[in-house]
């Protein structure tokens, strides 16, 4: 997420009522989560597991809960609760703007696009040529939709990320300031939900086809020409490379990569990254041949137990 204009670190900290360690004249161009932070941006880290990732990232400034031995050239904002400070900044930069009409005046809709009755198009949405947006679709602010996209009834594009921090006795929600990009020639089935990025974007790649009742989590990047069947759930920060096929009721855990051309068969549970060009089955998902051999072995267990009187 980029700021309207770069801001000096000293001025930013004055705005946030916090102190810093480093060069007061460092310019901060925006803010982003650790996994998508770019050059000149600010990020935060509040767990030792991710200190090194943050400090070696392209970020110019890191909000952190203690001063590390090696800063790797980063300017630091040190605070006991980096999450809350970053949240405070996010809330300033991504305040909710209500709408009072079904298609916002600030939306850019191509003259050839068809918006069916009851569809909602939020602020600063872009919809390209020859799209069809069916009844009761909800498109949240800042969504970018390419050409020849079809979105079927009751789907929701750009809802908040499922992103919270556990506190003592409750979960604290983190605001979502990202957006969704749907590239050309995508078709999204009925009743699907695509969450926007926390600070960046969720992307559905060109030519991808999604069946009904599919969920895509925040900051996930779906490649080109993927097929995703009904009732699939894909967590946040997942990367599907091009031509991946995922069949019904598959669940994919967060922060994984599914390689190009992989095929994941129905009801699989994906808990680790998978190589491309292979077929997978089972929970946890294994290569199909391996999973089938395991199933055959399990079926033989009663016979083995009787034979050896186990």
- Per-residue DSSP letter, 83: H
Answer whether 197's CB lies under 8 Å from 161's CB: yes
35 is catalytic: no
Answer whether 5's CB lies under 8 Å from 16's CB: no
Report the alpha-carbon distance of residue 278 to residue 256 in Å, rounded: 16
Annotated catalytic residue: which of 134, 152, 215, 218?
Answer: 218
- The SS3 assignment for 302 reads helix
Here the contacts of 80-89 (C-beta below 8 Å, separation 24 or greater) are 81/46, 82/44, 82/45, 82/46, 83/44, 83/46, 83/165, 83/172, 83/174, 85/16, 85/18, 85/44, 86/31, 86/42, 86/43, 86/44, 87/172, 87/174, 87/175, 88/16, 89/16, 89/31, 89/42
Q: What b/e readout covers 100-128, taking b as 16+ CB neighbours within 10 angstroms?
A: eeebbeebebeeebebeeebbbbbebbbb
* Burial of residue 73, with CB atoms counted within 10 A of its CB: 0-12 exposed, 13-18 middle, 19 or more buried: exposed
Answer whether 177's CB lies under 8 Å from 160's CB: no
- The SS3 assignment for 92 reads helix
**Conformation bin of residue 93: beta by default, left when phi > 0, alpha when psi is -120 to 50:** alpha
Report the alpha-carbon distance of residue 262 to residue 71 in Å, rounded: 40
- The SS3 assignment for 51 reads helix
Catalytic residues: 218
């Amino acid at each position: 997420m980029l700021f309207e204009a770069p801001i000096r670190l000293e001025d930013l900290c004055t705005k946030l009522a916090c102190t810093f360690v480093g060069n007061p004249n460092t310019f901060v161009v925006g803010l982003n989560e650790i996994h998508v932070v770019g050059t000149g941006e600010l990020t935060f880290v509040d767990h030792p597991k991710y200190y090194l990732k943050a400090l070696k990232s392209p970020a110019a400034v890191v909000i952190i809960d203690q001063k590390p031995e090696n800063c790797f050239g980063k300017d630091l904002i040190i605070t006991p609760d980096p999450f809350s400070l970053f949240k405070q900044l996010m809330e300033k930069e991504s305040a909710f703007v209500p709408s009072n009409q079904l298609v916002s005046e600030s939306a850019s809709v191509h003259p050839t696009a068809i918006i069916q009755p009851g569809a909602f198009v939020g602020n600063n949405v872009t919809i390209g040529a020859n799209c069809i947006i069916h009844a009761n679709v909800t498109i949240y602010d800042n969504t970018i939709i390419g050409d020849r996209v079809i979105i079927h009834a009751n789907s929701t594009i750009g809802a908040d990320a499922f992103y919270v921090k556990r506190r003592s006795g409750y979960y604290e929600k983190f605001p979502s300031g990202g957006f969704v990009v749907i590239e050309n020639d995508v078709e999204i089935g009925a009743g699907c939900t695509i969450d926007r990025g926390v600070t960046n974007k969720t992307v559905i790649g060109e030519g991808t086809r999604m069946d009904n009742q599919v969920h895509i989590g925040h900051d996930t990047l779906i490649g080109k020409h993927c097929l995703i069947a009904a009732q699939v759930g894909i967590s946040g920060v997942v990367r599907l490379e091009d031509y991946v096929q995922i069949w019904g009721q598959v669940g994919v855990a967060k922060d994984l990569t599914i390689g190009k051309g992989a095929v994941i068969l129905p009801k699989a549970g994906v808990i680790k990254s998978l190589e491309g060009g292979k077929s997978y089955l089972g929970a946890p998902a294994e290569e199909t041949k391996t999973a089938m051999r395991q199933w055959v072995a399990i079926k033989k267990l009663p016979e083995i137990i009787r034979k050896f009187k186990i």
